[in-house]
Structure 1
Amino acid sequence: MTQDDLLSIISIDPNICVGKPCIRGHRIWVSLILDYLAGSATIENVLEAYPSIEREDVLACIGYGAEMSRDVFVELPLSKKKEKSIADAVA
Structure 2
Amino acid sequence: MKRVELLNRISVDPNICFGKPCIRGHRIWVSLILDFLANGTSIPELLEEYPQLQSEDIYACIAYGAAMSSDRYVDIPIEKSA
Q: TM-score range by the shorter chain?
A: over 0.9
Runs of 4+ in structure 1 over 3 Å off: none
Larger radius of gyration: 1
Corresponding residue number in structure 2 for 1:6 = 6
TM-score by length of 1: 0.84
Identity of aligned residues (%): 59
**Aligned pair 1:67/2:67, yes or no?**
yes
Gaps of 5+ in 1: 80-91
Q: Hey, what does 1:50 align to over in structure 2?
A: 50
Aligned residue pairs total: 80
TM-score, normalization by structure 2:
0.93
Structure 2 gap ranges (5+) = none
Higher relative contact order (CA 8 A, sep 6+): 2
| Superposition deviation, residue 77 in structure 1 | 3.5
Q: Which residue of 2 aligns with 1:85?
A: none
Structure 1 residue 78 displacement after superposition? 5.0
